[in-house]
Amino acid sequence: MNIDLARTFLEIVETGNFNKAAERLRVTQSTVSMRIKALEDELGRSLFVRSKSGTELTAAGLQFRRYATTLVRVWEQARQEIALPPGFKTVLNVGGQFSLWDRLLVQWIPWMRTALPDVALRAEVGLSDGLMRQLTEGLLDIGVMYNPVSRPGLHMEKLLEERLIMVSTRRRTVEDWDDDYVFVDWGPEFRQGHGQSFPDLKSPAVTVGLGALGLQHILSYGGTGYFPMRAVRSYLGAGRLFEVAGAAEFRRPAWLVYTHDENRSEWFNTALEGLRYVASLENED
């Protein structure tokens, strides 16, 4: 079986939609349809029921789902082991969200090179949903993210908590509101807490989904917004930013996610301990 057929099947299961699956796979919708048609022809069973509201698995599709996950995982493991660089005994695949690579995972990589020099590393950057999918499919061994979803066979533990504070390019209090506020979307828990703290806030002129973009914007053009203390500490010290007096603070947890296996190798445990150690240096008081 062409492994792309199984990957396409799982992408549709994840998104519930042929079009969305095509976007994630960076192929056309007709290509996705052709792959599923070829897969159904090979199996001799229909796998999906399509309607205006979305796509649902048939009974055969539900049965095939676990086999497709295993197929993709085994294929990726075989491909990685065969492609293992000379002088290394294994490879560790790690994925993290963009802002968590900054300082946390970037510090962990040299730690790993010292502690486990015979373990090759492959690093990925992505969003929580994509990282979770790769973990489920066996494409990643470890994921570090903000919004994981509980999945069978995966273990989740809180790795650190970021302290989100309101900062501004001018000295001000929280009562002294300005129109150049930049709303950075730090996730559902932050949105809920932010709404409770600022129930009368009018819609901001600028909303961003990436903290680094929001921070660069206010540093370049002025403004106010919420950012992790670790990201703004140097600017506070240099007088380029000021903490807004009286503003609420928020906590944003980051999670370590990996396959639950009581018999995993000692080197894998060492890699996890390294991440916990580096994270302990980054925790905000």
Nearest to 156 by CA among 279, 256, 253, 254: 256
Q: Where are the domains of the chain?
A: 3-81, 99-285
Question: Which distant-in-sequence residues (6+ apart) come within 8 Å of 258 by Cβ?
Answer: 135, 141, 142, 143, 154, 155, 272
Nearest to 56 by CA among 94, 100, 12: 12
The separation between the first and the last C-alpha atoms of the chain, rounded to the nearest angstrom, is 52
Query: Are 283 and 223 a contacting pair, CB within 8 Å?
Result: no
- pLDDT confidence of residue 133: 84
Q: What are the backbone dihedrals phi and psi of residue 222, each rounded to the nearest 5 degrees, phi first?
A: 90, 155
**Domain 3-81 in this protein, CATH class:** mainly alpha
CATH topology match: 3-81 vs 99-285: no
- pLDDT confidence of residue 236: 96
Measured on CA atoms in the order 126, 132, 137, 142, is the torsion positive or negative? positive
- pLDDT confidence of residue 51: 81
State which H helix or E strand residue 87 sits in. Answer: none
Question: What is the rounded CA–CA span in Å between residue 47 and residue 60?
Answer: 6
Question: What is the rounded CA–CA span in Å between residue 58 and residue 229?
Answer: 49
For residue 139, give the DSSP letter.
Answer: S
The pTM for the full model equals: 0.65
Look at the block and give the residue holding tokens 């273990």.
155
Query: Are 32 and 18 a contacting pair, CB within 8 Å?
Result: yes
- pLDDT confidence of residue 156: 95
Query: Are 96 and 144 a contacting pair, CB within 8 Å?
Result: yes
Second-level CATH architecture of 99-285 = 3-Layer(aba) Sandwich (3.40)
pLDDT means over runs of 10, the chain (285 residues) = 87 89 90 93 92 86 89 77 76 88 85 94 86 85 91 90 94 83 90 90 86 92 93 94 94 90 82 94 68
Question: What is the rounded CA–CA span in Å between residue 104 and residue 38?
Answer: 44
